[in-house]
Amino acid sequence: MYLSELSVRHFRNLKNQDLEVPREGVALIGDNAQGKSNFLEAIYYLETLRSFRGARDSQMVAFGEEVFRVVGKTEGQSDEPHGTRVAAAFEKKGKRKRVSVNGANSDRLADGLGHFSAVIFSPSDVDLVSGGPADRRRFLDIVLALNEPGYVKSLSSYKKNLVSRNAALKAGQPASVVSAWDPGLTEAGAEIMIWRRSWIESRSSAFDGYYRRISGGRGARGAYP
Report pLDDT digits (tens) over 103-160. Answer: 888 878 888 887 888 888 888 888 888 888 988 998 899 899 888 878 999 999 999 9
pLDDT of residue 63: 94
Last residue of a domain, one of 63, 88, 112: 112
The whole domain housing 179 covers 124-215
Report pLDDT digits (tens) over 148-203. Answer: 878 999 999 999 999 999 999 999 999 999 999 999 999 999 999 999 999 999 99
The rounded distance, in Å, linking the Cα atoms of 200 and 208 is 12
Asked if the structure places residue 210 within a domain, the reply is yes
Of the candidates 155, 69, 68, 72, which has an alpha carbon nearest to the alpha carbon of residue 117?
Answer: 72
pTM, full prediction: 0.76
Read off the pLDDT band of 10 (50, 70, 90): very high
Q: Quote the mean pLDDT of the chain.
A: 91
Asked if the structure places residue 223 within a domain, the reply is no
The rounded distance, in Å, linking the Cα atoms of 122 and 51 is 13
Last residue of a domain, one of 112, 139, 157: 112
Asked if the structure places residue 225 within a domain, the reply is no
- Mean pLDDT, residues 204-217 taken together: 93
Last residue of a domain, one of 61, 86, 112: 112
Q: 213: which residues sit within 8 A by CB, 6+ positions away?
A: none
Report the CATH number that the domain containing residue 19 is assigned in CATH. Answer: 3.40.50.300
Asked if the structure places residue 47 within a domain, the reply is yes
